[in-house]
Homo-oligomer: A and B are copies of this chain.
């Protein structure tokens, strides 16, 4: 166990086209905190990453991506263990998921802080605990509500997912398969990712957008059109996919990492015009809106995992020191699955 609390604090915000790197943060070692009345201290085990974290570093982004003040610990979700507590409902030893920040130890309250969504004690932790940040956690819940609620997925649908080897995408493709899609095709950026999508995650096919002719491949793979497109990418991928929509298609906009945080986001999707002749719909969503139904999604995800239907797809770096590089990987596309850093080993199973 670390004898100090190591932290990444925000030193400055990135320029608009600047990659995420350690240059944006200060590495600080400080004392291990103690809980005040009604508080408890959580030791970080794994910390997660997500594209929204770049929004926390982007002034003027506003909306639901509130800025982390300079000098503060970088915000981020994690799974950890309560190591000291002055709150009767959150005793030491329990496993906790919430906004731990990029640090070894965080002081928590049950509510009252930013991003309390899905802050929770884990009732029956599944090992490895990293699953709580991946397929059983926010990536899984985002995929679940995006696909099933926003996309209204039905058995027999022909489904396309972009950034299919990304954190959310790798769960979307699997849920579509489990829910009885006729076809699930993933778009990814390397042949190795494409093999992983079909061989390990069980997708019907995968397209390497960097090498293949996406338009031609979609015409082959969707001769009757795409019923549901779950898009994490935007840009040319979205614009091309719109040409292949079936009638009454649903396009779920989860993100747009190809154009986000860029000085020049490039042109928008002119093929939105296909929405008319295809009677199709394009809809965005924010997973926190489903907060009151997270337990439903988490139960389904755990059940699928227990049955061996849902494969683990966490991509784990070792060490708190690698958090900036782990976050950067989401924007360079070098992650495969849900990118995490392990900060401490899983504790031995205890009373839970």
Contacts and interface: CB of A to CB of B under 8 A. Distances in A.
A269 to B, nearest CB: 4
A272 B276 contact: no
B289 A284 contact: no
B284 A278 contact: yes
Interface string A267-279: 1111111111111
A200 to B, nearest CB: 29
Given A266-B270, A270-B266, A275 B283 contact: yes
A36 interface: no
A276 B231 CA distance: 11
Contacts of A291: none
Contact of A279 (B271, B272, B289): B289
Contacts of A255: 276
Contact of A281 (B265, B281, B286, B289): B281
A315 interface: no
Interface residues of A, number: 33
Q: Can you tell how many copies of this chain the complex includes? A: 2
Most buried by B among A234, A256, A282: A282
Interface string A150-179: 000000000000000000000000000000
Contacts of A273: 234, 253, 256, 259-260, 265, 284
Contacts of A139: none
A239 B285 CA distance: 19
A279 B290 CA distance: 12
Contact of A275 (B64, B266, B278, B282): B282
B285 A276 contact: yes
A308 to B, nearest CB: 33
Interface in A226-278: 234, 239, 253-256, 259-260, 265-278
Interface string A109-128: 00000000000000000000
Nearest first, the 4 A-B pairs at minimum CB distance are: A275-B284, A268-B268, A276-B284, A268-B270
Interface of A: 63-64, 234, 239, 253-256, 259-260, 265-286, 289
